[in-house]
Structure 1
């Protein structure tokens, strides 16, 4: 696919992958809608884009699922249409299952799963009416296999795959595409912002994330996968091979992850 003359809506656009993606896509002949909770940060990203006049900042809180229809109507009216929705917004988690309150599990599901689903469903009638559309969903390798201290995060990301695989099948007839982007370790603030057992932020970077892919390099690979219309793309370093190891032997993957430095 080409991005020329497309309207692309990116959630989680105030930092990390979303910010880097917005800046990279602004080099194409397309229009961008940037969403996140922090409108001040969105405006900072906007001025970094090549053509700020073709970028619109639209505040959005993924936990507020009942606001999605209104926000979607605003997004569509901004440039007259939406061609691509990049579901990138979300949070992570770092805590043992036995210590993690159920409120943390719920918050991860509310933001990472239900918020993304609610927004995507709000936009779906528009995609069906125009007989085209592309959902890009930033999941995780943790949506394909799990690792310690990420139980709520893994659960929410696994759920995204179940939902969007079904959406792809139901709406193939409407020329609606779904690309699941599965990052491994990417050097962003995702670990610092991750929730701990009581719902507070972790506040520090972990070694694996610090040594992960540079975010701009990750975004280049992500854009390539989107343009190719891939169903799924596993983007990382050695950790991406975990997807294939699990297919070969779940027991072997369990052994490898249990003995790794992933914590």
Structure 2
């Protein structure tokens, strides 16, 4: 597939992967809708894009699912259609299960899972009516296997795979594509912004994230996977091989993750 003449909607576009993706895609002959909660930061991203006049800023909060149908209509009206929705918005978590309040679990599910599902369902009739559409979902390798101190995050990401695998099955007849992007460690602020057990932010970078893929390198690999319309893409350094190890032996991946330094 090509991005030329397409309209692409990116959530979580004010920083990290979403910001880098928006800037990279602005080099194509396409139109962009960029969303997050922070309008001012989105406006700054817009000005970094190659053709700011082809970028539409639309603030939204994935936790406010009731607002998403109306905002979806606003997004469609911006350029008349949407061809690709990149579900990138979300938050992470870093805390032991025993120290994690149920409110944190609920928050992760509300934002990372239910918010993404609600937005995708709001856009689905548009895709069906056009008999065309592509969902790109930024999951995680933690959506394929788990690790310490990320129980709520792993739960939400695993759930995304279940939902979007079903959506792909139900709507293949409507020419709707689904690509699950599964990052490993990427050097963004995801760890700094991750919630700890009481719901506050961790506030510091961890070693594995800091040593992860450069975000711009990651985005180029992500773009390649989207263009190829892959079902799933595992993007990272050595950690991406955990997906294949788990297929061979769940016990072995358990032992390998136990040995890893994840904090």
**Which TM-score band (shorter chain)?**
over 0.9
Secondary structure (helix, strand or coil) at the match of 1:114 reads helix
Q: Which residue of 2 aligns with 1:27?
A: 27
For residues 35-75 of structure 1, give each alpha carbon's deviation from its aligned partner in whole angstroms, at most 9, with x where no partner exists.
00000000000000000000000001000001111000000
Q: Which residue of 2 aligns with 1:6?
A: 6
Secondary structure (helix, strand or coil) at the match of 2:33 reads strand
Name the Cα RMSD after superposition.
Answer: 0.3
Q: Which residue of 2 aligns with 1:130?
A: 130
Q: Which residue of 1 aligns with 2:164?
A: 164
The answer to whether the aligner puts 1:96 opposite 2:96 as a matched pair is: yes
Q: Distance in 1 between matches of 2:99 and 2:69?
A: 36
The answer to whether the aligner puts 1:145 opposite 2:140 as a matched pair is: no
Secondary structure (helix, strand or coil) at the match of 2:165 reads helix
Structure 2: gaps (5+ residues): none
Q: Which residue of 1 aligns with 2:69?
A: 69
Q: Distance in 2 between matches of 1:70 and 1:121?
A: 12
Secondary structure (helix, strand or coil) at the match of 1:146 reads coil
The answer to whether the aligner puts 1:110 opposite 2:100 as a matched pair is: no
Matches within 5 A, 1:1-263: 1-263=1-263
TM-score, structure 2 as length reference: 1.00
Query: Structure 1 residue 262: deviation in Å?
Result: 1.5
Structure 1: gaps (5+ residues): none
For residues 119-166 of structure 1, give each alpha carbon's deviation from its aligned partner in whole angstroms, at most 9, with x where no partner exists.
000000000000000000000000000000000000000000000000
Query: Structure 1 residue 178: deviation in Å?
Result: 0.1
TM-score, structure 1 as length reference: 1.00
Q: Distance in 2 between matches of 1:176 and 1:68?
A: 20
Secondary structure (helix, strand or coil) at the match of 2:2 reads coil
Secondary structure (helix, strand or coil) at the match of 1:245 reads helix
Q: Distance in 2 between matches of 1:119 and 1:180?
A: 16
For residues 161-210 of structure 1, give each alpha carbon's deviation from its aligned partner in whole angstroms, at most 9, with x where no partner exists.
00000000000000000000000000000000000000000000000000
Q: Distance in 1 between matches of 2:100 and 2:44?
A: 35
